[in-house]
Structure 1
Amino acid sequence: MALEDFIAREVAPGEPLTAQAWNDIVRATADLISTVQGLSGSVLEVMIANADVDPAQARVTALGADGGAVEAARPIKPKGPFILTNLTPGPYTIRASAPGFGTATTTVTAPSATTVELALERTQPRMPSVFGEALAVALELLKEEGIAVSRVIDATGREVAPANPDPDYRDTPVLMQLPAAGEPVSSKTGAQLVVAASVKVEPSVEVPSLTGLTLDEARQVLDDLGLVLGKVTTKR
């Protein structure tokens, strides 16, 4: 809208202000605001309703009728709005997306709209923290969250079957997890865990004195204890 010439007359203190003069001021101010908005574009605030959406990973755009897209500035403070600027008058499709969530859209007409709120639908589960948990506990937690575990290895690189881990690994703690806690888990890759190496402790048996026994007698005593007679040295 083009600005029309505004004819103003100064009044002295105490002089009455006519309705016509006041209306001229109102119309001129409205024309000025409309013209400035047309030149610089309007501003639209977009709030994402999901508290668990990371603003640093979210994206908000405005798609105009002409196909042009405007990228929103991310919030300056926590739980703040995304800011779309330089929106020329007309209809827009506002889109918001984030990893692990579907895309939410709405339509607005600038400059009438000033704030919109969008709620995103979760499409991928979030990885819980299982660091330090026993492998059996971690696997159960992930199962409850609907997260498949694609791979488990121990600290030495040995593969551990996620579906049926060896009993020696059930109580070993989780040392690392992928993805990190709070990150979305893709159904294609699943979760991966690194656990401590299993330490097998062999049972110990006290070796009895074999002094004075014949070789056959000594072998029999050891056999009864589940021991194997090793190298025999004959002393003359």
Structure 2
Amino acid sequence: MHNNPSAECGPVALHLLAKAPVPGRAKTRLMPRLGAHGAASAHAEMVRRCVAHACRALPAAQVTLWTALDHGHPLFAELKQRLGIHLAAQPEGHLGVRIRHALAGSAGPSMIMGSDCPSITPELIQACADSLATHPVVILPAEDGGYGLIGTRGLTPADARALFHDIPWGGDEVLAVTRARLAARGLEAAFPATVWDVDRPEDWQRYRRLYPRAPSLASPFLSPGWSR
């Protein structure tokens, strides 16, 4: 894949947020079905898949994984070694602070997504990157009222603060509040598709139906013929 959006837009950076797969602290809402270790293993699998999706859409040099809980976890080292992505430690603070920090670290257009949204395919990531050539903001709305990815280009500090400060993170009004903030700032956004993430046991079952096998990070996984 690895097509670039227009030269005017420039290379698009992609940031992913990920906790280390620590049992009892990762994907805790899956624990009633999978147990602490099973939920952590499920989380690790989704991180691998989401990062692999990112590296199918964009060159690995444009992908940064922002880590939490255990920055030196072997999963993160494995992804860096095998795929060539960048690693960075998430700062302290609420989700809005961490999003703004990651996006501000890129000189040009940039996007950020979680690591529990495997429905964001390489094709969708590329579509979002392309959208930033013509829009200052791109968003992939999530079925639960949030969003799975947001990208920005050329926002002022005031615009960025409006989009990420005092948002009801974790609730079902994140997207609605964000849309209202966009309208108030006169910012036009692209919304290429609606996605879903894996939070609850039924989400995990949905994921397993779509992806019955765990991903491999060997080079064939990222070959041009790869699909799932």
Is TM-score (shorter-chain normalized) higher than 0.5?
no
More helix by percentage: 2
More strand by percentage: 1
Higher Rg of the two aligned structures: 1
Q: TM-score range by the shorter chain?
A: under 0.3
More contact order relative to length (CA 8 Å, sep ≥ 6): 2
